């Protein structure tokens, strides 16, 4: 059985492709465009992350053009110079304006040829093709001259949208479980179970927020959940981890999450007992279409956001924010959820990251102990309550459903939503729109390091050695 393959591209990149690939071309002439990106692969899933769309190489895409194609084709070589070996790929998108919803034999020849060029010129870079036709899209990967179908194409935006691709085999276990979601389907509509079934959700944290979130995601029907947490259950966790028992003290939290496999058989649950900074954890999270940060650590939230941005995933952050008054009593507490697209500013730009808290989290033990001794850092833990967490979990699951199946008001803009628990009942709910990267913030520098800004320009000279 082949690996499930997923292609992920942002909405504005899809719009550029659609503009380059008109179906209403006069005379039904095929058109083509090139894009490029990176491959993430872990735990039996292969994900193609589109980083940028190159300029359209030709207006026509006909067999005689194919016959003239040479390995020194300027566009192909220019693009291959941007690709750096295994782990990268070129995307060849083209149309069948009047044709069938599958690749033709001529496509097979052409794509095998182009794949060979990229593999040679770009040191093993792969090739993915995306075919636009009157009834939808079809996508596939060329693997050693063979063709492997792409199972899902996600368009990353608000809401997250699944492009219809060539029909894959229905999942018998999922069909057998249809009754589980019968009442939920009455609310979300018939398409929702299918979209959710295709979705892989990454969850950073398996504590007071992460564990009930994992439970909720599985019960809502998410096809696949990847949970990352390195920590073990402590006695003080027992008041906030609903399924954990006293006998679980000392056990890895992800082992408690593992029990959720028993909710229904069609869920794929991957647990990684690592910190989110760890490469193994990041490889697993990069394959996720949605990433939710649910830790009490601000640095790990920021790292999770960076992984989501790199993987072009939708990012949600959930948490509670208790504030202590001068006498050490909680005088304000809020539960919040925020959603960010890869093109939005970072959690810092959107004011749900505490810069001073992150500094403390990074301190070496010696310095931390000195600062606590000096009274500059409080030596007590933050308060935490199950009821606060459950409000954040409920808000997060609601926002998740808005964003992935379009349930609720059309979420065109990202939001940071806050629920002030100790405010008067009519002043408890706040929301503000997410902001772009602030110039000067570290996140605004990261954009320049990916391939988004290195589009192939028409007429540009070949890259030359300095």
The residues binding other proteins (CB under 8 A) are 38-40, 81, 84-88, 123, 279, 282, 286, 299, 302, 310, 346-349, 353, 355-356, 358-359, 361-364, 366-367, 370, 374, 376, 438-446, 448-451, 454, 457, 460, 463-466
Nearest distance from residue 452's CB to other proteins, in Å? 11
Output the smallest distance, CB 117 to other proteins, in A.
17
Q: Indicate the residue among 86 and 331 with the shorter CB distance to other proteins.
A: 86
Cβ proximity to other proteins: between 264 and 274 the closer is 274
**Cα separation of the two ends of the chain:** 47
Smaller CB distance to other proteins: residue 11 or 84? 84
Structure tokens at 301: 């939230």
CB of 75 to other proteins, least distance (A): 15
Minimal CA–CA distance to 7: which of 315, 287, 309, 406?
A: 287
Sheet strands side by side (includes 268-272)? 268-272, 224-228, 200-204, 290-293, 314-324, 330-340, 415-420, 429-433
**Minimum CB distance to other proteins, residue 284 (Å):** 13
Cβ count within 10 A of residue 313:
32
Q: Strand 126-133 vs strand 415-420: parallel, antiparallel, or unpaired?
A: unpaired
To which residue do tokens 């894959």 refer?
168
Q: How far is the CB of 140 from other proteins (least distance, A)?
A: 22
CA distance 450 to 432: 29
Q: Which is nearer to other proteins, 269 or 353 (CB)?
A: 353
Q: Are 402 and 314 in contact (CB under 8 A)?
A: no
Task: Compare residues 144 and 279 and give the one whose CB is closer to other proteins.
Answer: 279
How far is Cα 247 from Cα 232, in angstroms, rounded to an integer? 12
Q: How far is the CB of 324 from other proteins (least distance, A)?
A: 18
Tell me if residue 352 falls in helix, strand or coil: coil
CB of 435 to other proteins, least distance (A): 10
Q: Are strands 200-204 and 290-293 parallel, antiparallel or unpaired?
A: parallel
H or E stretch including 217? helix 210-220
Omega before 159 within 30 of 0, i.e. cis: yes
Query: Which residues, 6 or more positions from 146, have their beta carbon under 8 angstroms from its beta carbon?
Result: none
CA distance 203 to 214: 7
Q: Is 8:65 a contact under the CB 8 Å cutoff?
A: no
Nearer CB in complex with other proteins: 89/137? 89
Closest contact distance (angstroms) between CB of 276 and other proteins is 13
- Shortest Cβ 89–other proteins spacing (Å): 11
Beta strands 146-149; 136-143: pairing state: antiparallel
- Contact yes or no for 302/251 (Cβ under 8 A): no
């Amino acid at each position: 059985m082949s690996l499930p393959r997923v292609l992920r591209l942002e909405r504005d990149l899809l719009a550029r492709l659609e503009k380059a690939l008109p179906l209403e071309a006069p005379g039904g002439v095929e058109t083509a465009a090139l894009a490029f990106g990176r491959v993430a692969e872990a735990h039996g899933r292969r994900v193609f992350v589109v980083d940028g769309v190159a300029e359209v190489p030709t207006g026509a895409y006909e067999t005689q053009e194919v016959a003239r194609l040479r390995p020194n084709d300027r566009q192909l070589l220019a693009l291959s110079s941007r690709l750096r070996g295994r782990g990268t790929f070129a995307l060849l998108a083209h149309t069948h304006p009047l044709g069938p919803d599958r690749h033709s034999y001529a496509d097979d020849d052409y794509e095998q040829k182009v794949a060979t060029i990229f593999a040679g010129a770009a040191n093993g870079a792969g090739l993915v093709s995306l075919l636009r036709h009157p009834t939808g899209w079809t996508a596939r990967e060329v693997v050693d001259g063979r063709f492997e179908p792409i199972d899902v194409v996600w368009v990353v935006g608000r809401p997250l949208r699944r492009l219809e691709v060539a029909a894959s085999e229905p999942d018998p276990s999922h069909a057998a479980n249809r009754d589980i979601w019968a009442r939920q389907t009455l609310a979300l509509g018939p398409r929702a179970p299918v979209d959710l079934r295709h979705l892989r959700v990454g969850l950073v944290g398996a504590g007071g927020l992460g564990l009930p979130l994992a439970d909720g995601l599985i019960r809502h029907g998410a096809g696949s959940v990847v949970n990352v947490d390195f920590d073990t259950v402590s006695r003080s966790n027992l008041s906030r981890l609903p399924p954990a028992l006293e006998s679980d003290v000392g056990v890895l939290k992800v082992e408690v999450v593992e029990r959720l496999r028993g909710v229904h058989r069609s869920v794929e649950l991957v647990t990684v007992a690592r910190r989110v900074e760890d490469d193994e954890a990041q490889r697993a999270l990069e394959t996720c279409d949605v990433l939710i940060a649910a830790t009490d650590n601000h640095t790990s939230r920021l790292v999770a956001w960076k992984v989501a941005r790199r993987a072009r995933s939708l990012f949600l952050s959930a948490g509670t924010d208790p504030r202590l008054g001068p006498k050490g009593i909680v005088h304000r507490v809020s539960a919040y959820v925020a959603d960010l697209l890869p093109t939005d500013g970072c959690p810092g730009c959107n004011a749900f990251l505490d810069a001073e808290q992150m500094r403390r989290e990074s301190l070496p033990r010696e310095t931390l102990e000195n600062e606590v001794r000096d009274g500059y850092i409080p030596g007590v833990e933050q308060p935490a309550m199950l009821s606060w967490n459950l409000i954040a979990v409920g808000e997060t699951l609601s926002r998740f459903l808005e964003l992935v199946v379009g349930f609720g008001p059309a979420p065109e803009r990202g939001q940071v939503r806050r629920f002030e628990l100790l405010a008067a009942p009519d002043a408890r709910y706040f929301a503000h729109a997410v902001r772009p990267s602030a110039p000067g913030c570290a996140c605004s520098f990261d954009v320049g390091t990916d391939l988004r800004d290195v589009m192939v320009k028409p007429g540009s000279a070949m890259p030359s050695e300095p």
